[in-house]
C-alpha cells in the first residue's frame, strides 16, 4: 500500500533560519511521482515541485531545494533563509500507477519575525 | 490563465440534507479530482473524472458521488449529510489523467454540517 509520512507535525523557526521538512514514502511501484504542495491560511494548495521516481537529481529553485533519495525513500524539502511568508502547511504527496494521489499529514511551518 | 474555481466557497447545512459542490477546471484541463480535507483524516482522495467518466474512486460511502460535464466542469454531491462530513472540499484539475500529471487545486468549499 502507498503511504506518505511527514513526521514533523509543526516546526517553528525564526526568520532567516534554514528549515528542512521531511517526507518519507512507501510504495512498491517502480514508477511513481512525488510532489510538494504549500497550503497557506487561505486554503488553496499551491504546487511547488514534481519529481519522478527515475530522476534523483536534487533541485534548487530560489530559496527552495529538494533532496530525493530512493535508497531511503525520502523526498525532503529545505527552505533557506526562511521568511514570514513561508508560514504555511506543507504537504508531500505521491502519485502511483493508478493515478491516485496520497498525501502526507502535512507539516505546519511557523516562521517568526 | 484562470485557475481552478470552486463554488460556493462556504456552505452551512443540517444533518440529513444534501449538497452539491461545483468545480471549474483550468481551461484545457480535462481531469478533475476531488478531495476531502479534515483535521483528523487529512487530505483524502474522493474520486477522479476524466472525459466525463469516473476513473478512480477513493474509500468513501456511496453518499458521495460526482459527475463531469462535456466542458470538463465537475460537480460533487453528498446526500444525507452527517456531522462528520464537515470539511474543506478541494477540487484539482490536470491536463489529462495519469500519475505524471500535476494537479492544480482550487480554493476549496468549506462545508459545515450542523
Sequence-distant (≥ 6) Cβ neighbours of residue B75 within 8 angstroms? B20, B21, B22, B23, B66, B67, B69
The answer to whether A6 contacts chain B (CB < 8 Å) is no
Give the closest-approach CA distance of A93 to chain B in angstroms: 10
Cell of B45: 482522495
Rg (CA), chain B: 13
Across the interface, do B45 and A52 touch by the CB < 8 Å criterion? no
- The position carrying cell 474555481 is B5
What is the 8-class DSSP label of residue A87?
-
pLDDT at B34: 96
Give dist(CA A63, CA A83) in Å, integer.
10
Terminus-to-terminus CA distance in chain A, angstroms?
A: 41
Does the structure show a pLDDT above 90 at B2? no
Give dist(CA A46, CA A48) in Å, integer.
6
pLDDT at B66: 97
Across the interface, do B108 and A96 touch by the CB < 8 Å criterion? no
Percent of chain B exceeding pLDDT 90 equals 82
- pLDDT band for position B63 (cuts 50, 70, 90): very high
Q: Where does chain A show beta strands of DSSP type E?
A: 3-5, 10-14, 19-21, 24-26, 33-39, 46-52, 59-61, 64-69, 74-79, 88-95, 101-103, 107-112
Across the interface, do B42 and A103 touch by the CB < 8 Å criterion? yes
Give dist(CA B47, CA B43) in Å, integer.
12
**H or E, element range at A49:** strand A46-52
Among A23, A49, A75, A3, CA closest to B103: A49
Across the interface, do B45 and A101 touch by the CB < 8 Å criterion? yes
Q: Which residue among B88, B99, B106 sits closest to A33, beta carbon to beta carbon? A: B99
- pLDDT band for position B40 (cuts 50, 70, 90): confident
Query: Is residue A61 within 8 Å of A49, Cβ to Cβ?
Result: yes
Percent of chain A exceeding pLDDT 90 equals 77
Give dist(CA B29, CA A45) in Å, integer.
17
Give dist(CA B50, CA B74) in Å, integer.
10
The residues of chain A scoring below 50 in pLDDT are none
Amino acid at each position: 500500500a502507498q503511504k506518505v509520512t511527514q513526521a514533523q507535525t509543526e516546526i517553528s523557526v525564526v526568520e532567516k533560519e534554514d528549515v528542512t521538512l521531511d517526507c518519507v514514502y512507501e510504495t512498491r511501484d517502480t514508477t511513481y511521482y512525488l510532489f510538494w504542495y504549500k497550503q497557506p491560511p487561505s486554503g488553496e494548495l499551491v504546487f511547488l515541485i514534481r519529481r519522478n521516481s527515475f530522476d534523483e537529481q536534487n533541485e534548487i529553485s530560489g530559496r527552495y531545494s529538494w533532496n530525493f533519495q530512493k535508497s531511503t525513500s525520502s523526498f525532503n524539502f529545505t527552505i533557506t533563509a526562511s521568511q514570514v511568508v513561508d508560514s504555511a502547511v506543507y504537504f508531500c504527496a505521491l502519485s502511483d500507477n493508478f493515478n491516485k494521489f496520497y498525501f502526507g499529514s502535512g507539516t505546519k511551518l511557523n516562521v517568526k519575525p | 490563465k484562470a485557475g481552478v474555481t470552486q463554488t460556493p466557497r462556504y456552505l452551512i447545512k443540517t444533518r440529513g440534507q444534501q449538497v452539491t459542490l461545483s468545480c471549474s477546471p483550468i481551461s484545457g484541463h480535462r481531469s478533475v479530482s476531488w478531495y476531502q480535507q479534515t483535521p483528523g483524516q487529512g487530505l483524502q482522495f474522493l474520486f477522479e473524472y476524466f472525459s466525463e467518466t469516473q476513473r478512480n474512486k477513493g474509500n468513501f460511502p456511496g453518499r458521495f458521488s460526482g459527475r463531469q460535464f462535456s466542458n470538463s466542469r465537475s460537480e460533487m454531491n453528498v446526500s444525507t449529510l452527517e456531522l462528520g462530513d464537515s470539511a474543506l472540499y478541494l477540487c484539482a484539475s490536470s491536463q489529462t489523467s495519469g500519475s505524471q500529471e500535476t494537479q492544480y487545486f482550487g480554493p476549496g468549499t468549506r462545508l459545515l454540517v450542523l
